[in-house]
DNA sequence: AGGGGACATTTTATCTATAATTCATCGCCA
DNA sequence: TGGCGATGAATTATAGATAAAATGTCCCCT
């Protein structure tokens, strides 16, 4: 839904804030104060409020009338929800994209997979992963579907960064390779099944809480 | 995503405009001029702009910077796209809702089906149809998924009203009954399959264009 | 007659200032 | 100590003004 070619101030603010929220630079539950944001961006509060509405629609912020807007919180339930929605919608997109996939596209997707495997931090891994999914899905040419998937990817990335914001160990993405192999052989059902399982794989990771206890955090890793 | 309990002026305006767009009271492509809307609602232009942003996110309006916002146009491709997205997401919701479905809910859904069968105009049919889908899906308790489905229902209703805005003939909804029967017997796969086919059934209807020619219009009818 | 450019109008996008409402906090007093 | 009201802060909304862009009109020139 978010147009990248939106040169309005409201558009710039919403993109910048979305980035920060996804990267975890602003914590879940933190208040977004319109006058502070306005001052930071050197604007008035009017475009800031419009940016807030867009973030709300993307699920990155929640607004309570007369009580301001906060960065959306999330829990394991929502991580699962987003993963299942991605599975359903990405499979749909893949089925429509498949007839239009070319060897060049599949090669580019394989290159993206390699870039992900050698990524040294979460951020570049996420970028490569997103590129892979976009490459094989975009040929479906269904704008509304692709926009929804983009929003879900943003949510996924947020969960991912929240969990692995510091360390990251390189790992070979066998799922991506299996999907590409199936697509090259025209085995659409197999590719779709692998994709569905892939995006629902939820990584677990122990994390030390401020109080010293150890709990597990979760994120979609695919 | 649209909260019905939003007592801000922007919320009221966006709900009212959404209703008009869905009902076809404002035609696709028509410009939404902020000052006109502001005057009509007796407000300033600021909440109007916020309302526009929400409509944009719902896919009911499109905005080009510095060129204003228009009611979104749509064609058969988008009707199909929305139908397929609904199939994918409603099946997902149904699979999660099924374990929480009670006899009371299924009875209410059957009542909604009866109301739809005896509806004398499109509008009341649409209301009953939406109630049916909401009843059997809401117990999945996945807010983000349900919000997406709601937006897609709004789009479906728009296509429906655009096609059958005048005449409407009552018809018995066999699909709804088959879905309920399957659910009562615990046959989730059968219910899901029927639901998926049901929401993708696209009604066709000949329509006279202003120029005197006859063409076909299309809408999701389920 | 028709095309092109100058000009006026409209509309958007934004800012500033200000009022009203509501929420949170803090201190006072019983 | 605990409830209660006052104060302050932030959001929500209004009003009016301004700059920039787009649209439309009209006239002139070829």
Does one domain contain both B59 and B110? no
Tell me how many domains chain A contains: 2
Please list every residue in chain A whose beta carbon sits closer than 8 Å to the beta carbon of residue B81.
142-145
Give the rounded distance of the alpha carbon of B72 from its chain centre: 15
Does one domain contain both A91 and A32? no
Does one domain contain both A84 and A111? yes
Instruction: Answer for the pair B39, A97: CB distance below 8 angstroms, yes or no.
Output: no
Does one domain contain both A118 and A27? no
Per-residue pLDDT band at A217 (split at 50, 70, 90): confident
Structure tokens belonging to residue A139: 């040929």
- Amino acid B69 CA to nucleotide D22 C1' distance, rounded Å: 13
First to last CA, chain A: 22
User: How far off is chain B from A34, nearest CA to CA, in Å?
Assistant: 14
Tell me what the mean pLDDT of segment B121-130 comes to: 94
Quick one: which of A155, A25, A19, A170 has its CA closest to A84? A155
- Please report the DSSP string for A120-152 in residue order: SSHHHHHHHHHHHHHHHHGGG--HHHHHHHHHH
- DSSP letter at B21 equals H
The answer to whether B89 contacts chain A (CB < 8 Å) is: yes
Per-residue pLDDT band at A4 (split at 50, 70, 90): low
Does one domain contain both B192 and B105? yes
Which chain A residue's Cα is nearest to B56? A1
Which pLDDT score is estimated for B2?
43
- DSSP letter at A72 equals P
Does one domain contain both A111 and A146? yes
Q: What mean pLDDT, rounded, does chain B reach?
A: 92
Does one domain contain both B127 and B187? yes
* Residue whose pair of structure tokens reads 């942003």 in the numeric block: B53
Does one domain contain both A37 and A82? no
Tell me what the mean pLDDT of segment A4-29 comes to: 90
pLDDT in tens, B38-69: 999 999 999 999 999 999 999 999 999 989 99
Residue A202 DSSP SS3: strand
Q: Which of B10, B49, B145 faces A81 most closely, judged by CB atoms?
A: B145
- DSSP letter at A99 equals G
B128 contacts: CB under 8 Å, gap ≥ 6: B112, B113, B115, B116, B119
Quick one: which of A159, A124, A150 has its CA closest to A21? A159
Which pLDDT score is estimated for A2?
44
Tell me what the mean pLDDT of segment B73-77 comes to: 93
- Amino acid B37 CA to nucleotide C5 C1' distance, rounded Å: 34
Domain-terminating residue out of A26, A51, A71: A71
Rounded to 5°, angle at Cα B176 from B133 and B82? 50
Please list every residue in chain B whose beta carbon sits closer than 8 Å to the beta carbon of residue A82.
144
B66 Rama class: left (phi>0) / alpha (psi -120 to 50) / beta: left
Per-residue pLDDT band at A111 (split at 50, 70, 90): very high
Contact across the interface for B57 and A59, Cβ inside 8 Å:
no
Share of chain A above pLDDT 70, in %: 97
Instruction: Answer for the pair A179, A112: CB distance below 8 angstroms, yes or no.
Output: no
What are the backbone dihedrals phi and psi of residue A141, each rounded to the nearest 5 degrees, phi first?
55, 40
pLDDT in tens, B159-213: 999 988 777 887 889 999 999 999 999 999 999 999 999 999 988 877 776 677 7
Per-residue pLDDT band at B220 (split at 50, 70, 90): confident
The answer to whether A10 contacts chain B (CB < 8 Å) is: yes
Quick one: which of B19, B65, B61 has its CA closest to B158? B19
Q: Give the number of A-B residue pairs with CB atoms closer than 8 Å.
A: 76
CATH value at residue A107: 1.20.120.530
Cα-based torsion angle of the residue sequence B200, B205, B208, B209 in order, rounded to the nearest 10 degrees: 10
Domain of B8 in residue numbering reads as 2-71
Does one domain contain both A135 and A93? yes
Share of chain B above pLDDT 70, in %: 97
Residue B73 beta carbon within 7 A of nucleic strand D:
no
Quick one: which of B192, B152, B28 has its CA closest to A142? B152
Please list every residue in chain A whose beta carbon sits closer than 8 Å to the beta carbon of residue B144.
59, 78, 81-82, 85
Domain-terminating residue out of B71, B102, B124: B71
Please list every residue in chain B whose beta carbon sits closer than 8 Å to the beta carbon of residue A6.
65
C-alpha span between A73 and A163 (Å, rounded): 14
The answer to whether A91 contacts chain B (CB < 8 Å) is: yes
Quick one: which of A57, A43, A58 has its CA closest to A12? A43
- Amino acid A30 CA to nucleotide C27 C1' distance, rounded Å: 28
The answer to whether B193 contacts chain A (CB < 8 Å) is: no
Structure tokens belonging to residue A90: 């990405």
Instruction: Answer for the pair A71, A26: CB distance below 8 angstroms, yes or no.
Output: yes
pTM: 0.91
Does one domain contain both A126 and A165? yes
C-alpha span between B99 and A83 (Å, rounded): 20
Does one domain contain both A80 and A39? no
**Strand (E) positions, chain A?**
31-32, 61-64, 68-71, 202-208, 214-220
Does one domain contain both B60 and B106? no
Which pLDDT score is estimated for B74?
93
Domain-terminating residue out of A20, A38, A71: A71
Nucleotide with the nearest C1' to B33 CA: C11
Rounded to 5°, angle at Cα B181 from B175 and B185? 145
Please list every residue in chain B whose beta carbon sits closer than 8 Å to the beta carbon of residue A89.
85, 88-89
CATH value at residue A61: 1.10.10.10
Which pLDDT score is estimated for B3?
45
């Amino acid at each position: 839904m978010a147009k990248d070619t939106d040169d309005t101030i409201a558009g710039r603010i919403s993109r910048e804030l979305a980035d920060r929220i996804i990267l975890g630079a602003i914590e879940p539950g933190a208040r977004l104060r319109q006058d502070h944001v306005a001052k930071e961006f050197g604007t008035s509060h009017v475009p800031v409020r419009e940016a807030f509405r867009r973030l709300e629609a993307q699920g990155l912020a929640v607004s309570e009338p007369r009580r301001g807007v906060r960065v959306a919180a999330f829990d394991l339930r929502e991580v699962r929800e987003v993963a299942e929605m991605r599975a359903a919608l990405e499979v749909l997109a893949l089925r429509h994209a498949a007839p239009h996939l070319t060897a060049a596209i599949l090669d580019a997707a394989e290159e993206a997979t390699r870039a992900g495997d050698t990524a040294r931090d979460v951020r570049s891994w996420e970028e490569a992963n997103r590129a892979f999914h976009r490459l094989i899905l975009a040929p479906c040419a269904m704008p509304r579907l692709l926009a929804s998937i983009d929003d879900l990817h943003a949510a996924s990335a947020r969960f991912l960064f929240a969990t692995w914001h510091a360390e990251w160990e390189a790992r070979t993405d066998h799922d991506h390779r299996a999907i590409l192999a199936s697509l090259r052989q025209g085995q659409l059902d197999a590719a779709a099944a692998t994709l569905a399982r892939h995006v629902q794989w939820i990584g677990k990771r122990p994390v030390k809480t401020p109080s010293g206890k150890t709990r597990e955090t979760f994120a979609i890793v695919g």
